[in-house]
Amino acid sequence: KKKKKKEKAAAAKKNAGLPPKASSADAAATANASAPPPAAHNPHNVRVSVKFIGPPRQGSLYRDRVYHDGFQTTTVKDGKSVKIDYVVGDHVYALPGSEDEDLYIAQIDSVFEDRDGQFVDCVWLERAKDVATEIGPRAYKDCDFKPHDVLLCTNVNSNPIQSIEGKVDILTEEAYDAAVKATKDSGGGGGFVRETFRCRRALVARGKKKHASGGNVVPVLFEPGRGFRPKDPPAKGKAGRKKKK
């Protein structure tokens, strides 16, 4: 008993002046109090800023919109900065509606800002395999679509600039064939370093009645600075005939 009393006295003397031992709950509370709030954490350490390119122009149809030639994104990750310029006519990836979908593909039709934010008007391009039903089996076969083919659509949607996920290469048929030949000649086997698509056709609405061959698929034209657009169909009637005097 005397021995135990001496041990207790020694322990009391050793712990004199020390704060009481914290419980596990107290320890957890202390740890949480010293940690920064969740909002201060950035697990990917990424910051993205947007700057418009070109002088602002007032919209003629939508008066509340201010249009620009394009925009520049600056992405800072782990101290490294990457700048990318996007202008009208560029082809880009856009975030899909759900995670199980492929990235959307679009052509920038216009860039603008209004009271609701910063936006791009996107003309969509669909992978040929994704619109096979709309094209129809006969037209799909006649056009000899390949996995790298995309079709220009005529519908346009406004999307937040933040939905743009980078550029994508979409070439005309001539440019695509030339690029394949160049890589073969250089020993590359005809492949591309990154995903590259070919656009030869547009998918347009022509009402309920479709042509026996080709359906609602028409050729496209490419104009630098504007991008792809459906080729105008030949004029009907006798426009070339001179009027009688």
Structural contact between residues 157 and 112, judged by C-beta atoms closer than 8 angstroms: no
- 224-238 pLDDT, tens digit each: 999 999 987 655 554
Tell me the percentage of the chain whose pLDDT exceeds 70: 70
In the predicted model, what is the mean pLDDT of residues 51-61?
A: 88
Give the H/E segment covering residue 121.
Answer: strand 117-127
Tokens in use for 161? 């600039």
In the predicted model, what is the mean pLDDT of residues 133-138?
A: 88
pLDDT band of residue 155 (cuts 50, 70, 90) is: confident
Strand partners, 52: 71
Instruction: Write down the CATH number for the domain with range 87-230.
Output: 2.30.30.490
> Which of the two residues, 13 and 111, has the higher pLDDT score?
111
Q: Does the pLDDT at position 17 exceed 80?
A: no
pLDDT on residue 205:
75
Structural contact between residues 112 and 160, judged by C-beta atoms closer than 8 angstroms: no
Tokens in use for 189? 């086997």
> Which of the two residues, 40 and 208, has the higher pLDDT score?
208
Amino acid at 211: H
Structural contact between residues 64 and 146, judged by C-beta atoms closer than 8 angstroms: no
Q: Does the pLDDT at position 165 exceed 90?
A: yes
- 88-128 pLDDT, tens digit each: 999 999 999 888 999 999 999 999 999 999 999 999 999 99
> Which of the two residues, 139 and 221, has the higher pLDDT score?
221
- 177-228 pLDDT, tens digit each: 999 998 888 776 666 778 899 999 999 876 544 443 445 899 999 999 999 9
The mean pLDDT of the chain is 79
State whether the Cα torsion 220-223-226-232 is positive or negative. negative
> Which of the two residues, 89 and 134, has the higher pLDDT score?
89
Task: Specify the residue for token string 């020390």.
Answer: 18
Where do the domains of the chain lie?
87-230
Amino acid at 105: I
Q: Does the pLDDT at position 35 exceed 90?
A: no
Structural contact between residues 198 and 149, judged by C-beta atoms closer than 8 angstroms: yes
In the predicted model, what is the mean pLDDT of residues 25-33?
A: 40
Cα 244–chain centre separation = 56
What distance in Å separates the CA atoms of residue 40 and residue 19, rounded to the nearest whole number?
32
Task: Specify the residue for token string 């990836």.
Answer: 93
**Cβ-proximal residues to 134 (8 Å cutoff; 6+ apart), any chain:** 203, 216
